Structure 1
Amino acid sequence: MDKLLKFMGFIGDLKRVKRTGWVLRRIEDPESVADHMYRMALLSFLVEPTSGLNKDRCIKISLVHDLAECIVGDLTPQDDFSKSEKQKQEMEAMKHICSLVSEEVGQELYELWEDYEFQKSEEAKFVKDLDKFEMILQAHEYENLSNSPGRLQEFFDSTKGKFKTVQIKDWVEKLNTKRCSSGGS
C-alpha cells in the first residue's frame, strides 16, 4: 500500500507543477501539468471517428505523456539539458513511477509513455499535435485574459508548420482565424 500511496502522491504533485513556459512569461496563475494533461485527455474525446485512430488510446496517451514531470519537472528547450539527457531523466522517472503499481498497470503506463516519446503509433502522433495545439489554445486564452493580443506570439511561431494531422491542422486554422479577428497576430 505504501507504494500505491507514493504513486498517488506523484499524481497529486502534477497538480502543483506549473508549466514552465507560462511561469517564464510571468503569466498570473499559470496552468499546472495536470491541467494541461486533463484538457488534452478531454480533447482526445473529439478524435474524428473517420480518422481510424483509437480514441481510448489517445485519451490514455494524453493522460500519461507528461507523467515523468512529477519527478523531473517541466523541462523546456530553455533549460540546460540536451534532448537525450531530458529523455534519459524522464525514462528513469517513468520506470520508478511504474514500479509503484502492479506490473500490468506499470507496463501499460510505460508503453503508452514510450509510444508518445518515440512517436511509434498514429495515436501518439495525433497526441503530439494535440500537445502543441493545447499550448497555443492556452496561449490564446492567456492573451485574452490579460487583454494583451499578440503577447504570446512566440508560442504560435514555435508551432508554425509543425502540425501533421488533418484534424488538428483544422483546429489550428480555426484558432488562428479567431485570434486574428480578436486582434492577435
Structure 2
Amino acid sequence: MANVSSVLEFMHICENLKTTKRTGWVNAKITNPESISDHMHRMGVLAMLIKDDTLNKDKCVKMSIVHDLGESLVGDITPFSGVSLEDKYQREKAAFINLCDKIDNKEAGDEILSLWLEYEEGKTPEALLVKDLDKFEMILQAYEYEKREGKRLESFFETTRGIFTHPVVLKWVEELYEQRSKLQYKE
C-alpha cells in the first residue's frame, strides 16, 4: 500500500502550481494572469491534439503536464529573472529530485524525473514537440490577453519568432499570427 501521507505531501507542494501566477504575465501587469498549472494543463490538451503518428503522444501529454513541476518549489524563473540557464537548471533539477523522492511510488517518481530530464535535454522528437507547445501556449495566451486587455504584448511574440519546428505547431502559429494581425489595440 502506498504511503498516503507522502502522496498528500507531494500534492500539497504541487498546489503551489495552482496559486503561483506566471511571472511574465505578472510583470506585464496582466489582470488575473494564468497560473503555472493553467499553462501546463493547456499544454497537455495541445499535446492531445497533435496528429503525428511518429510521436508517442502519451509521453508528450505526460511531459507537458510535468515539465514545470519544479516550479512548485523554485517559482517561475524567466529569462529576465537574472538567473543563469545553468543555475535555473540546477535549481529545477534539485526541486524535481526532492519532489520525486517524496513519491512513495518509485516507478512514478522515476518516470516524472525522466520525463523532465528528457524535456530539458530537448533531443527526442517528443521533447522537441513539447518545447514547441510550451512556447506556442505562451503566445496563444499572450494573444488572448491582447484581445482581453487591448494592449500589445509584442515581447512575448519576439522571443519565440523563428523557433518553432513541428509542422503542426508551425501551422497553428501561422494561424495565430493571422488572427493577431486583425486585432485592434487600445494603446
TM-score (norm 2): 0.94
**Unpaired stretches in structure 1, ≥5 consecutive residues:** none
Letter of the structure 2 residue corresponding to residue 123 of structure 1: E
Letter of the structure 2 residue corresponding to residue 76 of structure 1: T
Does structure 2 conserve the Cα–Cα contact (< 8 Å) formed by 1:33 and 1:66?
yes
Out of 89, 92, 110, the position equivalent to 2:91 is 89
CA distance in 1, matches of 2:14, 2:39: 13
1:159 maps onto 2:168 in alignment: no
Structure 1, residues 139-174: CA drift from partner, whole Å, max 9, x if none? 0000100123xx101111110011111111110000
Deviation at 1:13, TM superposition (A): 1.2
Structure 2 partner of 1:141: 144
Structure 1, residues 123-147: CA drift from partner, whole Å, max 9, x if none? 1100100000000000000010012
> Counterparts of 1:1-185 in structure 2 under 5 Å?
1-50=4-53, 52-101=54-103, 102-148=105-151, 151-183=152-184
- Runs of 4+ with >4 A deviation: none
TM-score (norm 1): 0.95
Q: For residue 30 of structure 1, give the secondary structure of its aligned residue in structure 2.
A: coil
Deviation at 1:120, TM superposition (A): 3.0
Q: For residue 15 of structure 1, give the secondary structure of its aligned residue in structure 2.
A: helix
Does structure 2 conserve the Cα–Cα contact (< 8 Å) formed by 1:139 and 1:152?
yes
Moved more, 115-124 or 22-31: 115-124
Letter of the structure 2 residue corresponding to residue 65 of structure 1: H
Does structure 2 conserve the Cα–Cα contact (< 8 Å) formed by 1:47 and 1:53?
no
CA distance in 2, matches of 1:3, 1:49: 37
**Unpaired stretches in structure 2, ≥5 consecutive residues:** none
Does structure 2 conserve the Cα–Cα contact (< 8 Å) formed by 1:98 and 1:109?
yes
Deviation at 1:83, TM superposition (A): 0.4
Deviation at 1:3, TM superposition (A): 1.8
CA distance in 1, matches of 2:125, 2:80: 28
CA distance in 1, matches of 2:163, 2:19: 29
CA distance in 1, matches of 2:52, 2:170: 16
Aligned residues: 181
Does structure 2 conserve the Cα–Cα contact (< 8 Å) formed by 1:64 and 1:112?
yes
CA distance in 2, matches of 1:73, 1:55: 28
